Homo-oligomer: A and B are copies of this chain.
Amino acid sequence: MTESLGELLGRLSALKGGEVASYIPQLAKADPDDFGIAITSMAGRRYKVGKADTPFTIQSVSKPFVYALALSDLGPEEMLRRVGAEPSGEAFNAISLEPHTGRPANPMVNAGAIATTALVRAADPGARSARILDRLSAFAGRRLDHDEEVYASESASGDRNRALAYLMRAAGSLVDDPYAVTDTYFRQCAVRVTAADLAVMAATLATGGLNPVTGERVVSQLVATRTLAVMATCGMYDGAGEWLLNVGLPAKSGVAGGLIACSPGRFGVAVYSPPLDAEGNSVRGVAALTEMSSRYALHLMHVPVHMTATVTDTVRAARSGREHDPARTAVLDARPIVVIGAQGDLEFTETEQLLAAVERAAEAAPGAIVLDLTAVTAVGAGPATMVEGTLKDLERRGLRVAVAVQQPFLDQVDGPPGRWTATRDEAVAWCEDRLLEDAG
Contacts and interface: CB of A to CB of B under 8 A. Distances in A.
A378 B343 CA distance: 11
A260 to B, nearest CB: 15
Contact of A299 (B225, B239, B298, B377): B225
Contact of A266 (B229, B348, B389): B348
B267 A244 contact: no
B296 A383 contact: yes
Contact of A241 (B165, B233, B386): B233
Stoichiometry (number of copies): 4
A215 to B, nearest CB: 15
Contact of A349 (B42, B228, B344, B348): B42
Interface string A287-311: 0000000011111111111111010
Given A45-B352, A380-B297, A244 B232 contact: yes
Given A164-B163, A170-B163, A345 B348 contact: no
A307 B408 contact: yes
Contacts of A245: 80, 85, 226, 229-230
A233 B225 contact: no
B264 A307 contact: no
A304 B241 contact: no
Shortest Cβ-Cβ A-B pairs, 6 listed: A296-B382, A163-B166, A297-B382, A160-B170, A344-B377, A159-B170
Interface of A: 1, 3-4, 41-43, 45, 80, 84-89, 95, 105-106, 159-160, 162-167, 169-171, 178, 206-208, 221, 224-226, 228-230, 232-234, 238-242, 244-245, 248, 250, 263-267, 295-308, 310, 343-345, 347-349, 352-353, 355-356, 375, 377-383, 385-386, 389, 393, 406, 408-409
Given A87-B240, A163-B170, A233-B241, 8 more contacts: A41-B356, A43-B349, A159-B166, A232-B301, A264-B303, A266-B347, A305-B378, A345-B377
